[in-house]
Structure 1
Amino acid sequence: MSAPAAPPRVLTVAGSDSGGGAGIQADLKTMLALGVHGMSVITAVTAQNSLGVQGAWELPVEAVRAQYRSVVDDVGVQAVKTGMLASAELVEAVAELLAGAGVPVVVDPVGVSKHGDPLLAASALDSVRTKLLPVATVATPNLDETAQLTGVRVESEGQLRDAATAVLAHGPRWVLIKGGHLPGDAVDLLTDGVEEHWLRAPRYDNRHTHGTGCTLASAIAAQLAKGHSVPEAVAAAKRYVTGAIAAGFALGAGIGPVDHGWDLAPGRRGGV
């Protein structure tokens, strides 16, 4: 009896969250939930829980390169997602690797944690702008990350278009500006500078949203690996993360994670 065919393969290049709510751990859970095979290149290790980040240690560039080549040269990938890259050296090394990947790349330009802890050195911002964003198929900054990268501060839905234009100027094919920090419905703008797609979802009264950004970017990468177009992939990812937020649960003494398995088994919390 022959072995089943392998599912689409997605690689996450990101940091480890010891609490399991964000980072590599959230990425792999998301990929499993969406039916793709997740693989990882760990760029940094954090000591992290529901209260915040207590410590972070980046890996050497040669360790990151070796992990990437080990996976890509043997297994191959259909999409890549990047998260915490920590330093200019790591940003530039990863951007160089991805420039020759030949597959969709989702860049989540992680700057700070949910608790406000810095996860990217200030000296790395220019490398993100000039090296990483130009290789992105889709960039997924939140409003704080958009301000960090472009200086454009968004305080209303009407300003999302200006923010998107500013990010697109750095070279990604598409940008998804996440407006989740604005009042009202959770509204995001996806655009390539010509097409515009406005994505709306109800805002749930649930503070347990740790890992939202990682989860959304990984879900987009998973859908791209399945062959969906960027607008289709982002719309499907938005539906998935909305359900995960609705089902987010308390864990520890602080902010709990979204529920990556909300749609997998009977009796799970939440749903959309």
Structure 2
Amino acid sequence: MRPIMVAGNWKMNGLSADAVHLTQAILHAEMEPMRPEVVIFPPFTLLHAVSQEAKSSALRWGGQNLFWEASGAYTGEISGAMLRDMGCRYVLIGHSERRQIFAESDAQVAQKVKVALLSGLTPVVCVGETEAERAQGATEAVIHRQVEAVLPLLNLETSQPNMIIAYEPIWAIGTGLSASPEQAQAVHAFIRGLVAAYSTQLAKRLLLLYGGSVKGNNAAALFGQTDIDGGLVGGASLQVGEFIQICRAAELAGRGG
């Protein structure tokens, strides 16, 4: 059985006191270690505060983005080594907000995945279609293009995946809408099939997360799907009670319950 993960993306929200409060609340929930694995992605300015609270726990944290160069005259950017220095194990790459607002291309996403891997980070690669693309029946074509851009970076020499893929339908992010469990499962199964073309063993072990208005009241149904291995949670990760409810749903799913 694949492990299950709940990741909270705080986006551009929070100050130091908020980071301490949210992190402590997750820790006080006392979920069984690694079931699920809980990862939070705070803004860069809050990584230190989170690391100080969580350093002796099973809670993990990661960066929301990184640059594809190791160092240099890139004002405002952050490197993989800098994230590792903050204790990060993970990094989000290719979130729809990066793709849309900052015009990140598939090629740039692949560059970032490559440097994340070289830095010893596990990239959580986000893919997803817009409402217009879904209406046009182009969901699979969009997902195929985005996933194929990073699949050559899979470590084919081992059956242990070196990345995570998160399917986030853009039309469901921050809208209150969510793909139905069946819709989400269909896309996750499609992604796993794309990976299987490279390696069936990797496909079986690769974690696929769903993101897009994941809430406490829909998490159990989503996590109960065959190919959904947890969630990448946005707004609800800033609401302590809601986020813990989502984690509890994943905890039950991880136990086969």
Q: Which has the higher strand share?
A: 1
Q: Which has the higher helix share?
A: 2
> Which structure is higher in RCO with an 8 Å CA cutoff and minimum separation 6?
2
TM-score normalized by the length of structure 2 = 0.41
TM-score normalized by the length of structure 1 = 0.39
